[in-house]
Amino acid sequence: MRFETTCIHGGYQPDATGSVTVPIYVSTAFAHPEVGQSTGYDYSRSQNPTREQLEKTLAALEEGCDALAFTSGMAAIACVLELFKPGDHIIYSADLYGGSIRLFNEISQKNGISFSALDTGDLHAVKAAIQTQTKAIYIETPSNPTMQITDIKSLCELAHKYHLLVIVDNTFLTPYFQKPLTLGADIVIHSGTKYLAGHNDVLAGFIITAHKEQADRLHFLHKTIGACLSPFDCWIVSRGLKTLPLRMDRHAASALRIAKWLSKQPKIRKVYYPGLVSSPRQEINSKQTTGFGGMISFEVDSEDTAIQLLKQLKLILFAESLGGTESLITYPLLQTHCDIPKEECAAKGINERLLRLSVGLENVNDLIADLKQGLR
């Protein structure tokens, strides 16, 4: 099946009732036919039919061997980190979602895992950072919030020479625009709360893996830790997936128009959007993606302008999430990266003038009009 068809059907066939949508199985336990036999479902934390269908769909969309659904993106990341043990070392993209960095610094380091943050788009820097204890490289591309690009295929070729796992957070682009596993990555992570569900109404996270051995270990961790997505929330995400291609095309088309418009405004000092020809590593990004997504970051001329814009916007909502039908604008320094030291943020370009915009599905002319009046 092609991508759009998989989003809608996901291999699901109507059951005996003829239900055209996946049923919501709320049962926590499933009866055994007899001793030593199982229907394939025993206890919903181990597996649930509604969750299983969603996981199969995500695995097919990312072209992986298996997928697991979690209660949030952070729960998914935390589970992946349980693949490692005290003494292991992980390299990660310096420009990364602040919640991921918080998890690394406050939880994983306490548990004996060490980290090095650098520009993972610089392969020479990555190679120089590899240690005897290094076990993985963790990246976002485009990164959050300054849209830094990493060449996934080249990074994977380097990493695999040293027997390292490559883990890619693919939240911003989704498998519709980028498929890291087909470029050599070992594990893909999503905050399903964002574009996959797409309506700002559910928390979810996903892991998709390329290898059965990893999948088996992750399933063990999944049921042991227990942060499994509920049947109803799985159904909500499944419903959102049905329109993923349509939504992503609209997000991306509107974002490109807005990024070009912002680039011409006198109060805008810099625009971060991978679809602009002036974007760093734009050629590499174009080779590994089929679209540029709906996320834009931009730097205004002063802190006062940033605060005034956030106050004056009427249609675009000042809120911390992304990837939904509604356009949302975020102040990274005080929201997504509030737990990162200010000097560290400044080194990444995250300052009091930087804003991040998640372009929704509203009419793009209305969004530009709102930004225009807010920048007056």
73 vs 321: CA distance, rounded Å: 12
Counting the structural domains of the chain, the total is 2
Q: Return the pLDDT at 337.
A: 86
Which of residues 241, 257, 291 is at a domain's end?
241
For 278, counting Cβ atoms within 10 Å of its Cβ (0-12 exposed, 13-18 middle, 19+ buried), the class is exposed
For 286, the token pair is: 């174009």
For 215, the token pair is: 């999948």
Contact by Cβ (8 Å): 79, 227: yes
38 vs 343: CA distance, rounded Å: 56
The CATH code of the domain that includes 270 is 3.90.1150.10
Q: Return the pLDDT at 84.
A: 98
Q: What is the pTM of this model?
A: 0.96
Give 10-residue mean pLDDT values along the chain (376 residues): 96 90 96 93 95 98 98 98 98 95 96 97 98 98 97 98 98 98 98 98 98 97 97 98 98 98 98 95 96 98 97 97 97 85 85 96 98 97
Burial 241-264 (b: 16+ CB within 10 A, else e): bbbbbebbebbbbbbbbbbebbee
Q: Return the pLDDT at 342.
A: 83
Contact by Cβ (8 Å): 337, 350: yes
Which of residues 241, 270, 298 is at a domain's end?
241
| Domain containing residue 53 | 3-241
Return the residue matching tokens 């070729």: 157
Same domain, 216 and 325: no
Same domain, 296 and 360: yes
Q: Which residues contact 141 (CB under 8 A, 6 or more apart)?
A: 93, 120, 121, 148, 149, 150, 152, 168, 178, 285
Is residue 169 among the annotated active site residues? yes
Same domain, 208 and 251: no
Return the residue matching tokens 């895992």: 113
Same domain, 223 and 363: no
Same domain, 108 and 202: yes
Considering 135, 194, 247, 250, which one is annotated as catalytic? Answer: 194
Relative to beta strand 328-330, strand 354-358 is antiparallel
Which of residues 241, 256, 290 is at a domain's end?
241
Is residue 97 among the annotated active site residues? yes
Same domain, 232 and 258: no
**178: helix, strand or coil:** coil
Considering 25, 92, 97, 195, which one is annotated as catalytic? Answer: 97
Same domain, 224 and 274: no
Same domain, 70 and 215: yes
In whole angstroms, what separates CA 183 from the centre of its chain? 17
Is residue 194 among the annotated active site residues? yes
Same domain, 170 and 151: yes
Q: Return the pLDDT at 30.
A: 95
The CATH code of the domain that includes 49 is 3.40.640.10
Contact by Cβ (8 Å): 268, 259: no
247 vs 194: CA distance, rounded Å: 12
Q: Return the pLDDT at 293.
A: 98
Q: Return the pLDDT at 341.
A: 85
Q: How many CA atoms lie within 13 A of 91 on its CB side?
A: 27
E strands along the chain, which residues? 66-70, 89-93, 114-118, 134-140, 165-169, 187-191, 205-209, 268-272, 295-300, 317-318, 328-330, 354-358
Considering 66, 88, 95, 169, which one is annotated as catalytic? Answer: 169
242 vs 234: CA distance, rounded Å: 13
186 vs 179: CA distance, rounded Å: 11
Same domain, 25 and 174: yes
10 vs 72: CA distance, rounded Å: 22
Q: Return the pLDDT at 339.
A: 78
Same domain, 128 and 86: yes
Considering 41, 45, 119, 270, which one is annotated as catalytic? Answer: 45
Amino acid at 211: H
Same domain, 219 and 280: no
Phi, psi of 65 (to 5 degrees): -90, -20
Q: Which residues contact 371 (CB under 8 A, 6 or more apart)?
A: 258, 261, 262, 309, 313, 316
Residue 13 Cα distances to 8, 44, 189, 237, 352, angstroms:
11, 21, 27, 18, 52
Q: Return the pLDDT at 151.
A: 98
